[in-house]
Amino acid sequence: MRVLMFGWEFPPHIAGGLGTACYGIVKGLSHCGVSTMFVMPSASGDEDQSAAQIINASDVPVQITDTMNVDDFLDKVQFVHIGTNMVPYLDPAEFHTLVEEDRRRQVRDFSVHYGHTYKFSGKYGSNLMEEVARYAMVGGTIAMTHKDEFDVIHAHDWLTYMAGIAAKRLSGKPLVVHVHATSFDRSSDNNIDTRVYDIEKRGMEAADKVITVSDLTRNIVITKYGIDPSKVVTVHNAVDFSGRSNVNVERGVKDKVVTFLGRITFQKGPEYFIEAAAKVLKRCDNVRFVMAGSGDMMNRSIRQVARLGISDRFHFTGFLRGKEVQEMFALSDVYVMPSVSEPFGISPLEAMRTGVPSVISEQSGAAEVLKYAFKVDFWDVDAMADEIYALLKYPALANFASKYGFDEVNTLKWNNAAVKIKNVYESVIK
């Protein structure tokens, strides 16, 4: 069996769990006898290609076809470039004229790239919607070029759904979309990005099957996007043990270390972690708290720490990657994932793989599969503080959680997840 897979990131250059999951999946599929062509916007050349052939979208010239053109994609993506000059007093007719002029400019900009390559950043910058649209056109070209070399299309997360749709239309092959997160995970119900939501919904509707990373996410897909439950399948994420190595780090302090590792954004609940830290520090003083990561709530979090008067016991590391993540886990005595909404959450599995007891949000997909992680509601900072304090204060409890947590995550292998994904492929291939 052969799959054309669209992703946005792949190790070693990753920004979060999406790239880690893609890597685990292709390795597991390879073990199941499935060959993968993995398309990404911008490959660096140092990606591990032992389990997948990496196709760099930045090297692929866009081809003109009768079924795919710029206007269609602009209509579907629905993005408008916003300049720096505000124009607040336009009447409806003037606004319509301005938008149409800007749209025509976009069409001209896109048109010059036919027959040429487009150098993707592969990042999550201000022109993300533009890159998504261009990626879709390149995805269609790749599908036409390799039409006889794959049996099914697999698109990871909303960034690649348009590419998956284009590939399906041009190749006639079935499409599976993989939902790692939704708009409702990234913001509140009343504040979702409707442009992203529209792309998510269109991808799910066009797909022959939809894979979700948890039952929590499956329920959102069914209720919030109106997708037929019969075509939505849950395949939980896993953790990679094959590359595990014992990391020895020198500890510069005798204090216990409690770690938050992830994007410092609303979704991840950093403010609740900080509140819990302040409560723990009122009960014991031989502990330090670490927030490892970066995000739009970084400065706000720093101010919150200062306001609570715990700056001398709270540390910000910035974004960590690769070996740095493993070193951080090796230094940690407790790991906390206080996410407001977490479709799954691979980081507690990685922490428990290192033998670190973990406190996780009840509002996470990982809570569905982890019996030996301590679970609290993200908003209940008193309960969160109690769990952290207990793991710090009582060594027997920490040792129990460490031992049984390690044994538990050792059963959550990507090979097992890949078997389920392969079954999904087989169900849509006619």
Per the structure, how many domains does the chain have? 2
247 part of a folded domain: no
Q: What is the average per-residue pLDDT within 335-351?
A: 91
Q: Percent of the chain scored above 70 by pLDDT?
A: 85
Question: Do 234 and 204 have their domain in common?
Answer: yes
262 part of a folded domain: yes
**Averaged confidence pLDDT in the chain:** 86
| Least confident interval from 104-113, 178-187, 311-320, 329-338 | 104-113
43 part of a folded domain: yes
pLDDT confidence of residue 33? 94
Question: Do 128 and 6 have their domain in common?
Answer: yes
| DSSP assignment letter at 86 | -
Instruction: Say how many C-beta atoms besides its own lie within 10 A of residue 138's C-beta.
Output: 27
Contact call for residues 272 and 308 (beta carbons, < 8 A): no
Banded pLDDT at 95 (limits 50, 70, 90) = low
The secondary element (H helix, E strand) that includes residue 47 is none
Question: Do 21 and 95 have their domain in common?
Answer: yes
Report the CATH number at residue 150. 3.40.50.2000
Check pLDDT > 70 for residue 4. Answer: yes
248 part of a folded domain: no
Q: How confident is the model over 257-300, as pLDDT tens digits?
A: 999 998 898 889 999 999 999 999 999 989 999 999 888 899 99
| Least confident interval from 87-96, 110-119, 306-315, 385-394 | 87-96
Banded pLDDT at 44 (limits 50, 70, 90) = confident
pLDDT confidence of residue 398? 95
Check pLDDT > 60 for residue 76. Answer: no
Check pLDDT > 90 for residue 346. Answer: no
Q: What is the average per-residue pLDDT within 409-417?
A: 91
Check pLDDT > 80 for residue 25. Answer: yes
Banded pLDDT at 102 (limits 50, 70, 90) = low
Euclidean distance between the first and final Cα of the chain, in Å?
Answer: 13
Contact call for residues 405 and 255 (beta carbons, < 8 A): no
Phi/psi at 292 (nearest 5 deg)? -105, 115
| DSSP assignment letter at 337 | E
pLDDT confidence of residue 85? 39
Question: Do 282 and 145 have their domain in common?
Answer: no
Question: Do 212 and 280 have their domain in common?
Answer: no
Question: Do 82 and 169 have their domain in common?
Answer: yes
DSSP codes joined into one string, 328-388: HHHH-SEEEE--SSBS--SHHHHHHHTT--EEEESSBSGGGT-SSSEEE-TT-HHHHHHHH
Question: Do 226 and 262 have their domain in common?
Answer: no
Residue type, 228: D
Q: How confident is the model over 381-407, as pLDDT tens digits?
A: 999 999 999 999 999 999 999 999 999
Question: Do 54 and 156 have their domain in common?
Answer: yes
> For the packed helices 194-206 and 70-77, what is the interaxial angle rounded to 10 degrees?
120
243 part of a folded domain: no
pLDDT confidence of residue 126? 64
Question: Do 175 and 262 have their domain in common?
Answer: no
144 part of a folded domain: yes
For residue 167, give its domain range: 2-238+417-428
Instruction: Count CA atoms closer than 13 A to 265's CA, side-chain side.
Output: 12
Question: Do 382 and 424 have their domain in common?
Answer: no
Check pLDDT > 80 for residue 34. Answer: yes
Question: Do 276 and 176 have their domain in common?
Answer: no
322 part of a folded domain: yes
Q: What is the average per-residue pLDDT within 96-124?
A: 60
287 part of a folded domain: yes
pTM summary value: 0.82
Higher pLDDT, 65 or 256: 256
Check pLDDT > 60 for residue 80. Answer: no
Q: What is the average per-residue pLDDT within 360-381?
A: 94
Higher pLDDT, 86 or 10: 10
pLDDT confidence of residue 70? 45
Question: Do 160 and 61 have their domain in common?
Answer: yes
Structure tokens at 234: 């849950």
SS3 of residue 46 by DSSP? coil
pLDDT confidence of residue 243? 53
**The Cα angle at residue 2 between residues 429 and 7, in degrees rounded to 5:** 100
Higher pLDDT, 122 or 62: 62
d(CA 375, CA 391): 13
Banded pLDDT at 1 (limits 50, 70, 90) = very high
Q: How confident is the model over 221-249, as pLDDT tens digits?
A: 999 999 999 999 999 999 887 655 567 77
pLDDT confidence of residue 8? 92
